[in-house]
Amino acid sequence: MMAINRRTAIQRTALLIGGLLSSGTIASILEGCTTVPADNWHPKFFTPEEVADMEAFVERLIPATDTPGARDAGVHRFMDAMLADVAEPEDQQAFKVGMEHFRQEAVRRYGQVFAQCEATQQDELIGVWEQKVFAPNADEQSVDVKFYKSAKQLVFLGFFTSEVGATQVLQYDPIPGVYRGCLPLEQVGRAWAI
């Protein structure tokens, strides 16, 4: 019997696995690894005008400071994907109606849509909605309440689960815990299941 070295074993395994995969499978794996350039992004749920408002909204909730903000993390794109792909149709409709109320209130108060308002005006309008939505007597079934709470939840979820939010704002440890190899079994107590 002929002994083979590690390198030969790896090469033969790679050939075996490569032979088992069809060219279609390999092509789909490689396609899945390509990224779409940021400039080619097109919203699925929001209109371009709504994207501008949501982009401004996320930036006012989590602005860039010494760390990147929600706009930098692309949270408005996350919101678009979640609303288009995950939200139920009735939740999508409530979000759209509430968002239109939010946009129209900016027009009534400041003569322009939210994205075109000054930062102080945007903050003021968000404050008005915070008081209205989180008032003790707020109607939880109102489209305005549903919209605002959903939007705010999506902003924070999108930001703190993004790479930017998780690594530059939160404490991040890619491999949590301390590695201590070769401990005597008496110190561990029992062996760990693998």
Has residue 113 been placed in a domain?
yes
pLDDT of residue 33: 42
Structural domain including 89 reads 41-169
pTM: 0.69
Has residue 179 been placed in a domain?
no
Query: Between the CA of residue 26 and those of 10, 11, 35, 114, 178, what are the distances in Å?
Result: 19, 18, 17, 46, 38
Q: What string of DSSP letters covers 169-187?
A: IS---SS-S----S--HHH
Has residue 102 been placed in a domain?
yes
Q: How confident is the model at residue 172 (pLDDT cuts 50, 70, 90)?
A: confident
Has residue 36 been placed in a domain?
no
Has residue 7 been placed in a domain?
no
Question: What region, left, alpha or beta, does residue 111 occupy, with left being phi > 0 and alpha being psi -120 to 50 degrees?
Answer: left
Has residue 5 been placed in a domain?
no
The model's pLDDT over 35-71, given as tens digits with 9 standing for 90+, comes to: 444 568 899 999 999 999 999 999 999 999 998 999 9
Number of domains in the chain: 1
pLDDT, the chain, mean:
82
Has residue 178 been placed in a domain?
no
pLDDT of residue 37: 47
